[in-house]
Amino acid sequence: MGEMILPVAIVPATVFGVAAAVKSTDLEGLPRALVDFGLPPRTAAPLGRLLVTCEFAVALALVVPPWARVGGLGALLLLTLFSGVIALNLMLGRTPVCDFFGGLKAVPVGWSTVARNALLAVLAAFVAADGHPHWLFAGLAVVMSALWAGLWAKETGEVRAGLFAPEFSLRDESGRTRTLCDLLAPGRPLLLVFSDRPPGPHTALLPQVARWQRTHGDSVTIAVVSGGPHTVPVAAGGGDGPRRLLADPGRRTHTDYGVTATPAAVLIGAEGIVAAAPAVGAAEIGKLVAKALRLHGRPTVAGRVVLFASTALVPAFTTVCGADSDVAPLGRPPVRHG
């Protein structure tokens, strides 16, 4: 193996090795993830085990000099297959979760995922071709890196504080369609908590969400946006569980709000303007709840601008109308003075 090959091979070898190790710790959840990507349920379990085996084999081959080129070719084939499946789902309007780190990080796929895989595929092809021609692979790697960075920034930067929150139309646990306007109440901020199915660490937060709803229901509206192909069960909203469970089967709302990992939350002011960018993790979501309580009954910066404009423009409009009192309504002659 050339001197340039080993450092490059370590990158895809590490990626495949970590992916296989994590998947092997959750062999029960892996078939559900594969079904989310459109695979038949009957074949999901054996294909999941085969996938883990192939990833382990590729990772090992990449760092063993006699087998490095074979490992590079295997990595290239797997990455091409992964990218094709992801692209097909995206074209069909689905954004299933790429559960790369098992239950630790559930990330909805996007075109940035395809670009990331393309970059890894360039590195794998470099190893498979024994580094020749190196200038071609270097150029492709630069292009794919720039494309990945651009797409990732676009997908994760759509929602920022101060911008209007994206609209949505989702069904709740009772089957009723709820929109952003439905959940906004005068003077009351809205906290959208994003989770994913199948269950993971995001579901451990749901009992706390239910307590927040009971304790702070008069000050802040809290709704849970549950991603995944399954509908939200009616029973989940009853008892001690949280209310206002909204089903986001294609995770489109997750994507619109820039949510790339769960659990996450977005705070929206009563005027429909994002008050805080997506926060990830239970601790950060707790801070958003505290911030929401401080916002209750107080206009946001954007709200103050609207209020100032209203108080400044209404008197001016009244003055102009008074000055134009000689202009009669349609159908009536003007009033002549003197």
Provide DSSP, 225-261: EEESSSPPPGGGGSTTS-S-EEEETT-HHHHHTT--S
Tell me, yes or no, whether 187 and 147 share the same domain: no
Mean pLDDT over 91-98 rounds to 74
**Is the pLDDT higher at 80 or at 132?**
80
| Per-residue confidence (pLDDT) for residue 118, from 0 to 100 | 94
How many CA atoms within 13 Å lie on the side-chain side of 51? Answer: 24
Is residue 275 within 8 Å of residue 260, measured between CB atoms? no
Domain boundary residue, one of 156, 184, 208: 156
Tell me, yes or no, whether 23 and 135 share the same domain: yes
| Residue 106 confidence (pLDDT) above 70 | no
**Is the pLDDT higher at 134 or at 96?**
134
| Residue 234 confidence (pLDDT) above 60 | no
Sorted by sequence, the CB contacts under 8 Å of residue 137 that are 6+ apart come out as 122, 123, 125, 126, 129, 131
Tell me, yes or no, whether 51 and 152 share the same domain: yes
Tell me, yes or no, whether 83 and 191 share the same domain: no
Of the given ranges (6-10, 106-110, 206-210, 310-314), which has the lowest mean pLDDT? 310-314
| Per-residue confidence (pLDDT) for residue 10, from 0 to 100 | 93
**CA 62 to CA 73: how far, in whole Å?**
9
**CA 270 to CA 77: how far, in whole Å?**
50
Of the given ranges (71-75, 80-84, 318-322), which has the lowest mean pLDDT? 318-322
Which residues are paired to 196 by β-bridges? Answer: 227
How many CA atoms within 13 Å lie on the side-chain side of 133? Answer: 4
Which of 61, 46, 49, 47 minimizes the C-alpha distance to 16? 61
Mean pLDDT score across all residues of the chain = 78
**Is the pLDDT higher at 215 or at 203?**
215
Of the given ranges (22-31, 154-163, 298-307), which has the lowest mean pLDDT? 298-307
Tell me, yes or no, whether 228 and 126 share the same domain: no
Length of the chain measured in residues:
338
Neighbours of 95 (CB within 10 A): 25
| Per-residue confidence (pLDDT) for residue 150, from 0 to 100 | 79
Work out the angle at residue 110's Cα, subtended by the Cα atoms of residues 182 and 221, and round it to the nearest 5 degrees.
20
| Residue 62 confidence (pLDDT) above 90 | yes
Q: Which of 159-163, 237-241, 257-261, 307-311 has the highest mean pLDDT?
A: 257-261
Residue 325 lies in a domain: no
**CA 89 to CA 250: how far, in whole Å?**
10
Tell me, yes or no, whether 124 and 83 share the same domain: yes
Domain boundary residue, one of 127, 156, 185: 156
Tell me, yes or no, whether 51 and 139 share the same domain: yes
**CA 64 to CA 56: how far, in whole Å?**
13
**CA 78 to CA 56: how far, in whole Å?**
12
**CA 19 to CA 81: how far, in whole Å?**
15
Tell me, yes or no, whether 20 and 123 share the same domain: yes
**CA 293 to CA 194: how far, in whole Å?**
19
Is residue 86 within 8 Å of residue 118, measured between CB atoms? no
| Residue 104 confidence (pLDDT) above 70 | no
Sorted by sequence, the CB contacts under 8 Å of residue 111 that are 6+ apart come out as 90, 151, 155
**Is the pLDDT higher at 96 or at 1?**
96
| Per-residue confidence (pLDDT) for residue 227, from 0 to 100 | 84
* Percent above pLDDT 90 for the chain: 27
96 confidence band (pLDDT: 50, 70, 90): confident
Of the given ranges (36-40, 93-97, 218-222), which has the lowest mean pLDDT? 93-97
Of the given ranges (215-219, 260-264, 331-335), which has the lowest mean pLDDT? 331-335
236 confidence band (pLDDT: 50, 70, 90): very low
How many CA atoms within 13 Å lie on the side-chain side of 5? Answer: 22
| Per-residue confidence (pLDDT) for residue 100, from 0 to 100 | 54
Domain boundary residue, one of 156, 181, 204: 156
Tell me, yes or no, whether 50 and 124 share the same domain: yes
Residue 138 lies in a domain: yes
Distances in whole angstroms, Cα of residue 166 to Cα of each of 55, 158, 184, 273, 279: 38, 9, 13, 9, 17
Residue 243 lies in a domain: yes
Tell me, yes or no, whether 68 and 136 share the same domain: yes
| Residue 35 confidence (pLDDT) above 90 | no
pLDDT digits (tens, 9 = 90+) for 121-173: 999 999 999 888 888 888 999 999 998 887 876 666 556 677 788 889 998 88
| Per-residue confidence (pLDDT) for residue 329, from 0 to 100 | 37
Domain membership of residue 133 as a residue range: 5-156
